[in-house]
Amino acid sequence: MNHSILDGTSTVGFADPGHTRIPGRALVRTCMSRPAVAVTPDTDFATMVAAITASRRGVLPVVAPDGTVTGVVAASDLLAAYAEPNTAELLARDLMTAPAVTVAEDRTVAEAVATVHQRSIHHLPVVDGEDRLTGMVSPHDLLDALRRDDEQMRNEALTLALTPGTGVVPSSLHIRCERGRLTVAGRTRTRGDAAALCLQLARIEGIAGLTDRLRWDLDDIEGRAEA
């Protein structure tokens, strides 16, 4: 048995170039928490403390009467306000950061992750097409969505590899997916079977890379090349 035709290297170049290769392809609406606890610009300090405690989130969206997000009040803002005189007189409009950094519910998880990273924030209000609050997304929500994306791609890869006719020896097959990067190991009947399987796996939507550690029993490609 020998290493497969790709010999452990990335097979990204074998994929359909029309596919978008972005881990985190799920939409934000599928992982956000709802309903979102929010306050208005006129909400008093005590109510804000109660609301953020009840929500168990680090941020309170501040919404206008029509539901659009005008700003956010963070737990750190409330803690800092305790040191101020006349705390009881403070309103959400006095403490909020505006404009708020939000994410649209039809954006991908990958795009939300990029926003969190670029803006150095943790909790994101989620809005609809008219900027009205529809939910909240936290780092835990995003990580869970990314984990589920990996599981879905791994399951899709397993289904492809175990389809009759692929030449894969089922007991030898090992597939894992981490951060969108798929690794496949095992044994196939022929070198051609290994190459064909890699081409199929590389076309899985959302995959960020493919490492091939397949081996085969019969080298049918080298023989054809010599002929």
Q: Tens digits of per-residue pLDDT, 29-49?
A: 999 988 889 999 999 999 999
If you search the block for the tokens 């389809």, which residue do you land on? 163
- CA distance linking residue 144 with residue 139, whole number of Å: 8
Report pTM: 0.66
Reference 105, options 34, 179, 180, 37; nearest CA is: 34
Average pLDDT over all residues of the chain: 86
Q: What is the reported pLDDT for 7? A: 43
Omega of the bond prior to 170 within 30 degrees of 0, cis? no
Q: Can you read off the two tokens belonging to residue 2?
A: 């020998």
For residue 128, give the amino acid letter: D
Residue 1 has pLDDT above 60, yes or no: no
Residue 8 has pLDDT above 50, yes or no: no
Q: How confident is the model at residue 224 (pLDDT cuts 50, 70, 90)?
A: low
